[in-house]
Amino acid sequence: MDMAELGTSGASVSALCLGTDYYGSRTPAETAHILMDAFHEAGGTFLDTSNIYARWIPGFVGGESESTIGDWMARRRNRSAMFVATKMCGDYLDVPYGLRAVDIRRECDKSLARLRTDWIDLYYAHADDRQTPLPEIVEALDSLISAGKVRMVGASNWATWRLAEARQIAEANGWVSPSALEYRYTYLRPRPGAVFAPQVAVNDQLLDYARHKQLPIVAYSILLNGAYSRSDRPVPGRYAGPDTDARLAALQVVSAETGATPAQVVIAWLRQRPQQIIPIVGGSTLEQIRENVAAANLRLTSDQVNRLDSAGNETPSDD
């Protein structure tokens, strides 16, 4: 798998990131270890997790994914070879939702303990908190870097204007600003007016801002839970817009031309955006992991990319 510099950070990561939200909960820890082995053996180094994963699964409380990763890295003795990103902001157990400085610092320490590591490579504010003053948030994230606990910070699910304001505050005070972003992004476009709260789907404004500022976007929910490849997984209603059929048809044509699965074409399309996009791939089986990882070697032609981009762009007739 190719490696790439993450934006302008100087950090080197694999072209694909492995999502681990269900590791240690819906996906048992030992199975998760096997899946991470397969990802790493294929050249994958970038792991994505969060302090709340997966508190929404009955019988689990959050922290299970981080603990599973920490145990795996300790067993494999490969911490220095991995790039680990985790997040905080959501509520779990007795931890309230938000980005208060005290909670940012406390949750970072908890994540370090669960991950069994001395540092976190990338620490995201998982969502925005408009009740806490923005300077308090930015300064608290900067303090983690000063303390050597975090190497770089990022933002996930923020409005573009809030992200721009946070970066301006950081620059004015000599603090480290978010240098990586994580957002919902896939080939199908959200239906006009679709709401994903607390998640945020990329939009043209965010993409333009990220490109201008050379901010990489780590993309999640890229395969819509199997909707591109499985007949038993319908397209989610929030993506059932007026251009959906045309874009799915274009995807099928390019899939047939390349001999790749529709899911692999989606991954390749994301990697060939004008901005740097690092897709988060998942999988609960070795077959799924291998299919997704193989997409890192798929290169679409400029004509194929153009056809995928333009599908569904036709303006309806006024007749």
Nearest-5° Cα angle at 103, 102 to 107: 125
HSE, side-chain direction, 13 A CA sphere, residue 52: 17
Per-residue pLDDT, 232:
86
Q: How confident is residue 231, by pLDDT bands cut at 50, 70 and 90?
A: confident
Per-residue pLDDT, 314:
79
Question: Is-cis flag, bond preceding 54, omega within 30?
Answer: yes
Q: How confident is residue 230, by pLDDT bands cut at 50, 70 and 90?
A: confident
Per-residue pLDDT, 309:
97
Dihedral of alpha carbons 233, 239, 242, 243, sign:
negative
CATH fold of 3-240+263-299, please? TIM Barrel (3.20.20)
Which is higher by pLDDT, 316 or 174?
174
- Give 238-291 pLDDT, tens digit per residue: 999 899 999 999 999 999 999 999 999 999 999 999 999 999 999 889 999 999
Per-residue pLDDT, 105:
98
> Going by C-beta distance under 8 Å and a sequence separation of 6 or more, which residues neighbour residue 43?
1, 2, 3, 14, 296
Which residue type is seen at 147?
Answer: A
- Give 165-196 pLDDT, tens digit per residue: 999 999 999 999 999 999 999 999 999 999 99
Average pLDDT for residues 199-220, to the nearest whole number?
97
Per-residue pLDDT, 318:
41
- Give 71-82 pLDDT, tens digit per residue: 999 999 999 999
Alpha helices per DSSP H over 98-133: 101-115
Per-residue pLDDT, 317:
41
Q: How confident is residue 319, by pLDDT bands cut at 50, 70 and 90?
A: very low
Global pTM value: 0.95
